[in-house]
Amino acid sequence: MKHNGKKSASKPGHQARKRFGQNFLDDEAVIEQIISGIHPRPADNMVEIGPGLGALTEHLLEALDGRLNVVELDRDLVPVLRTKFFNYPEFQIHEADALKFDFNALASEDAPLRVVGNLPYNISTPLIFHLLENIHCLKDMHFMLQKEVVERMVAQPGDSSYGRLGIMCQYYCRVQPLFVVGPEAFSPSPKVDSAIVRLSPYTELPYPAESVSRLQGIVKQAFTKRRKTLRNALAGVIPLEALDALGIDAGLRPENLSLSDFVRLSNYNHSD
């Protein structure tokens, strides 16, 4: 379901930058629905990636009693944010590239991170992989992403969008698409629909791999040659006898295997 709401009265003075993939959210109805979906509480340890002009930030600060970390790459936006939220002494701006940022530094055992963000389309996939590497310090993640990216994250075996991103997200997390947001909710308007997604890390992995790096390597190799059969796609990585021993048809394509199948392959190969 798409949401069309009232635009924020204030027009951004900052020109959105194409190289940062900036599209500023300015639809109040959508903003309120996102905040409702995140449901921030005062005790939460939250970090916002790419706050932009602070559309979500403002609501988060109110809900979190003024305690919030944000990671912003665009140096020109930092003074805008500092000025807008000067009356929040516990509002911390980290001038950094989220792809290289150490999220562990903001978390503790008693206060795992809740991550939120309207992610630029051009870095969304590598940023999600970066966060998955830090999954042990995360409580949950809520992102605004290109709708097509969310479809990849929730895809199941046999779906055309099923691949590495969905498998690894689902390995670590329960992935829930929340709602679709149309281009008109942003300035400038992107050419695609966006969607909100929630990732909730499992306390106990449904299909634990003995080596996550090995699992990642097998999945990456398989989907590099996604149109080939497993016999060819995994040649040199998984021996045919392993497929036979696990009862997996070597004539199938990678998109036909479930997460549990990939983990079984990974674990077999690891112990071989």
Asked if the model's pLDDT at residue 7 lies above 80, the reply is no
HEC string of the chain?
CCCCCCECCCCCCCCCCHHHCCCEECEHHHHHHHHHHHCCCCCCEEEEECCCCCHHHHHHHHHCCCCEEEEECCCCHHHHHHHHCCCCCCEEEEECCCCCCCHHHHCCCCCCEEEEEECCCCCHHHHHHHHHCCHHHEEEEEEEEEHHHHHHHHCCCCCCCCCHHHHHHHHHEEEEEEEEECHHHEECCCCCCEEEEEEEECCCCCCCCCCHHHHHHHHHHHHHCCCCCHHHHCCCCCCHHHHHHCCCCCCCCHHHCCHHHHHHHHHHHHHC
Name the CATH topology of 18-201: Rossmann fold (3.40.50)
Backbone Cα Rg of the chain: 20
The per-residue pLDDT for 27 is 85
For residue range 185-228, list pLDDT tens digits in order. 887 787 889 999 999 999 999 999 999 999 999 999 999 998 99
Summarize pLDDT for 95-127 with one digit per residue, the tens: 999 999 999 999 999 999 999 998 887 899 999
State residue 16's pLDDT score.
Answer: 44
Token code pair at residue 212: 């996550």
Region class of 127: left (phi > 0), else alpha (psi between -120 and 50), else beta: alpha
pLDDT at position 260? 97
Q: Smallest Cα–Cα separation from 222: which of 172, 267, 258?
A: 258
Interval 145-188: pLDDT, tens: 999 999 999 999 999 999 999 999 999 999 999 999 988 888 77
Q: What is the pLDDT of residues 25-35, one digit of tens each?
A: 888 999 999 99
Where does CATH 1.10.8.100 sit in the chain? 212-271
Q: What pLDDT shows up at residue 22?
A: 53
pLDDT computed for residue 189 by the predictor? 81
pLDDT given at position 18: 42
Rounded-to-integer distance, Cα 190 and Cα 250, Å: 42
| Mean pLDDT across 239-267 | 96
Residue 250 has pLDDT above 70, yes or no: yes
* Chain-centroid distance, C-alpha 45: 18
Burial class (CB in 10 A: 0-12, 13-18, 19+), 168: buried
What is the model's pTM? 0.88
Say if residue 61's pLDDT is above 70: yes
pLDDT for the residue numbered 5: 47
| Residue-level pLDDT at 172 | 98
The CATH number of 212-271, from 3.60.15.10, 1.10.490.130, 3.40.50.800, 1.10.8.100, is 1.10.8.100
HSE-CB of 196 using CA atoms within 13 angstroms: 23
User: Would you state the pLDDT for residue 46?
Assistant: 98
Is 141:199 a contact under the CB 8 Å cutoff? yes
CATH 3.40.50.150 placement within the chain: 18-201
Q: How far apart are CA 174 and CA 153, in angstroms?
A: 10
